[in-house]
């Protein structure tokens, strides 16, 4: 994958690998650096959104490290919205640090911990006399496939990068479902997120908060043990928080899939789960009945690969490539299926194409 130059606060320079063809820019907002991934055409507008992301995103240090978003200020009390899985293992009375954009650490008020319904979303609070910006809540209903979205959060420290930086990553919406999905993961997107960014903000093109980033995606083939990439990451839409604020029952808009996005989100929730391959295939085909989508063919191919139907997987990866010829993962995964059929020349061709798209 592409090696990208990272400038650390300590002025050290190191290399970090990421899984998407991105232009990485490091620029200064106040006294802190943001790792900023974007295309040249949108850099100016994205810079404004990056400033918003920096102001509203916090790092959470507890039983595990994660991210969160400032969503409310009432007097000196601040409310942080994060993922339930980031904060759930912390007990009342234990210390959890919330680090704001100015580098200040605030202790959570442990009794404030509250999960929102049964989705992967939770609230915690802290007190500070300092003035911090809070997120502006967006309208998830306006988001459709292909729209630009931005995800920000703090990846876990690594050997190469021992300091947590705010990563600001761009991508596009894959699906925006209304049907109930386990943990509420109804919003799918292509942003190449990293572990530790869970609980961070998902912002629309106006910088409004439209979701809370969930778990990072990574799968191992059930049949071969090889890494078969997905790179379709997930968020809980902000509508659940809005329901909480308005005193409404925290539930999905519908329990029955009625759109291509609904079927895609249901398929994605089962992707890579042993014994669910045929259900993924069925859901993906239902999505294709509405519209020919590259992601639907991708999920079909992924499930067929796990069923060791490598020929069928190759056919569906090819259809996905026809609809989206610039998506690196399609070539990468098709190369794995060709390798499993001992079509080494074809595998080399697909890997070569993937390298061309993402050196």
Q: How confident is the model at residue 158 (pLDDT cuts 50, 70, 90)?
A: confident
pLDDT, one tens digit per residue, over 35-79 is 544 443 343 488 999 999 999 999 999 988 999 999 999 999 999
Q: What is the pLDDT of residue 5?
A: 27
Q: Span 183-205, mean pLDDT? A: 92
- Separation CA 93–CA 63 (nearest Å): 13
Pick the CATH number of 16-256 from 2.60.40.790, 2.40.10.120, 3.30.70.20, 1.10.10.10: 2.40.10.120
- Torsion on CA atoms 47, 129, 63, 11, rounded to nearest 10: 40
| Spatial contact of 110 and 96, defined as CB atoms under 8 Å apart | yes
CA distances from 94 to 61, 88, 97, 172 (A): 11, 12, 10, 38
Q: How confident is the model at residue 16 (pLDDT cuts 50, 70, 90)?
A: very low
Q: Span 311-315, mean pLDDT? A: 98
Residue 19 in this model has a pLDDT that exceeds 50:
no
- Separation CA 134–CA 339 (nearest Å): 50
Q: What is the pLDDT of residue 25?
A: 31
Residue 297 in this model has a pLDDT that exceeds 50:
yes
Q: How confident is the model at residue 323 (pLDDT cuts 50, 70, 90)?
A: very high
Q: What is the pLDDT of residue 23?
A: 29
Q: Span 337-356, mean pLDDT? A: 96
Residue 120 in this model has a pLDDT that exceeds 50:
yes
Residue 10 in this model has a pLDDT that exceeds 50:
no
DSSP per position, 307-331: TT-HHHHHHHHHHHHHH-TT-HHHH
Q: Do 16-256 and 258-359 fold alike per CATH?
A: no
Q: What is the pLDDT of residue 195?
A: 85
Residues 6+ apart with CB under 8 A from 61: 96, 97, 98, 99, 105
- Separation CA 229–CA 332 (nearest Å): 8
Q: φ, ψ for residue 3 (rounded to 5)?
A: -90, 135
User: Which residue(s) pair with 318 in the sheet?
Assistant: none
Q: What is the pLDDT of residue 13?
A: 28
Q: Span 280-294, mean pLDDT? A: 96
Q: Span 126-146, mean pLDDT? A: 95
Q: Span 330-359, mean pLDDT? A: 95
Q: Span 297-312, mean pLDDT? A: 96
Name the pTM for this structure. 0.82
**What is the overall mean pLDDT for the chain?**
85
Q: What is the pLDDT of residue 337?
A: 96
Q: What is the pLDDT of residue 193?
A: 85
Of 21, 53, 51, residue with least CA distance to 39: 21
Residues 6+ apart with CB under 8 A from 301: 312, 313, 314, 315, 316, 317, 320, 333, 334, 337
Q: What is the pLDDT of residue 149?
A: 95
Pick the CATH number of 258-359 from 3.30.1360.120, 1.10.10.10, 1.10.3720.10, 1.25.40.10: 1.25.40.10
Task: List the single range of 153-162, 269-278, 324-333 with lowest mean pLDDT.
Answer: 153-162
Q: How confident is the model at residue 203 (pLDDT cuts 50, 70, 90)?
A: very high
Q: How confident is the model at residue 157 (pLDDT cuts 50, 70, 90)?
A: confident
Tell me how far the alpha carbon of residue 23 is from its chain's centroid: 18
Per-domain residue ranges of the chain: 16-256, 258-359
In the three-class reduction of DSSP (H, G, I as helix; E, B as strand; rest coil), residue 17 is classed as strand
Q: What is the pLDDT of residue 227?
A: 57
- CA 57, 62, 66, 71 torsion: positive or negative? negative
pLDDT, one tens digit per residue, over 205-260 is 999 999 999 976 555 444 555 555 556 789 999 999 999 999 999 999 999 999 99
């Amino acid at each position: 994958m592409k090696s990208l130059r990272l400038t650390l606060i300590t002025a050290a320079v190191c290399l970090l690998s990421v899984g998407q063809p991105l232009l990485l820019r490091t620029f200064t907002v106040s006294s802190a650096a943001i790792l900023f991934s974007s295309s040249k055409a949108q850099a100016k507008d994205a810079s404004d959104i990056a400033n918003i992301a920096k102001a509203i995103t916090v790092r959470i240090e507890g039983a595990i490290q994660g991210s969160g978003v400032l969503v409310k200020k009432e007097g000196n009390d601040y409310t942080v919205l994060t993922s339930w899985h980031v904060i759930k293992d912390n007990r009342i009375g234990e210390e959890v640090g919330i680090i704001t954009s100015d580098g200040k650490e605030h202790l959570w008020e442990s009794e404030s911990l509250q999960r929102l319904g049964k989705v992967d979303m939770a609230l915690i609070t802290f007190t500070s006399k300092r003035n911090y910006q809070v997120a502006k809540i967006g309208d998830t209903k306006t988001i459709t496939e292909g729209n630009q979205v931005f995800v920000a959060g703090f990846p876990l420290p690594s050997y190469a990068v021992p300091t947590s930086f705010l990563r600001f990553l761009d991508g596009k919406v894959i699906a925006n479902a209304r049907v109930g999905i386990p943990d509420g993961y109804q919003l799918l997107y292509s942003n190449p997120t990293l572990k530790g960014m869970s609980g961070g903000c998902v912002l629309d093109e106006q910088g409004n908060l439209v979701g809370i980033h969930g778990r990072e995606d990574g799968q191992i083939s059930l049949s071969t043990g090889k890494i078969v990439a997905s790179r379709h990451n997930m968020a809980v839409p902000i509508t659940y928080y809005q329901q909480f604020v308005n005193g409404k029952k925290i539930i999905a808009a519908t329990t029955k899939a009625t759109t291509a996005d609904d079927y895609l989100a249901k398929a994605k929730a089962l992707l890579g789960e042993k014994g669910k391959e045929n259900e993924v295939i069925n859901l993906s085909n239902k999505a294709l009945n509405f519209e020919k989508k590259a992601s639907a063919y991708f999920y079909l191919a992924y499930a067929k690969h796990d069923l060791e139907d490598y020929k069928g997987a190759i056919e569906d990866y090819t259809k996905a490539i026809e609809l989206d010829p610039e998506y690196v993962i399609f070539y990468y995964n098709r190369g794995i299926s060709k390798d499993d059929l001992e079509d080494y020349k074809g595998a080399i061709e697909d890997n070569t194409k993937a390298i061309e798209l993402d050196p």
